[in-house]
Amino acid sequence: MSSTEKSYVPTHAEFVVNFAPGEYNSGLCTLKDFKAGEIMALVTGTTKNKKTYTSVQYGSGPEENFEFNSDLSYINHSCEPNVAVDISSNQPKWHLRALKNINAGEPLSFFYPSTEWDMTQPFGCTCGKPSCLGKIQGALHISKDDLLACQWINPHIMQLVNLRDARSANGQTQQ
């Protein structure tokens, strides 16, 4: 990511990046309260990109990825997230939605496999939640039951899950 703590200019008045020493230890926090179900921000200013550790997959094709180009890139993953990245509608309606009541000062998190099928940079999750899945590498590696237990999974991911499971039931290997 291009921003450093010294040169940091927030992109969203409601959010702030909490910079932490070390690689990938920073995250985004909210400066205001949100109620469950509330739209927290529209996702604007994105650009299409190849798959990277900051990109978000918006369709079933592996080349369908965008970059937030904003502080939203600092939202970490949690296995019990407080935010949905909802890209189920057309682009102008892409948004972040509160999955629960969120208080000012809380870190924001979304469930990365809700957008990502097969991640370019898997990692060992440190969310520490009871339902933590451990290694996070995309929905390809998660059972349909585990995904259905999540509060929000985007339709392109459920489409790929159904295809994977149908192929596997027919004895075909995953591409």
- Indicate the DSSP class of residue 102: B
x/- map, 30-49, ligand SAM, by CB under 6 A: --------------------
- Among the listed residues 15, 74, 111, 117, the single contact to ligand SAM using CB under 6 A: 74
- The least distance separating ligand SAM from the CB of residue 44, rounded to whole angstroms, comes to 18
x/- map, 11-30, ligand SAM, by CB under 6 A: -------------xxxx---
Cα Rg of the chain, angstroms = 16
Calpha distance 66→163 (Å, rounded)? 23
- Among the listed residues 106, 123, 133, 158, the single contact to ligand SAM using CB under 6 A: 123
Q: Binding to ligand SAM by residue 50, rule CB under 6 A? A: no
Select the span of 3-11, 34-42, 87-95, 123-131 touching ligand SAM (CB under 6 A).
123-131
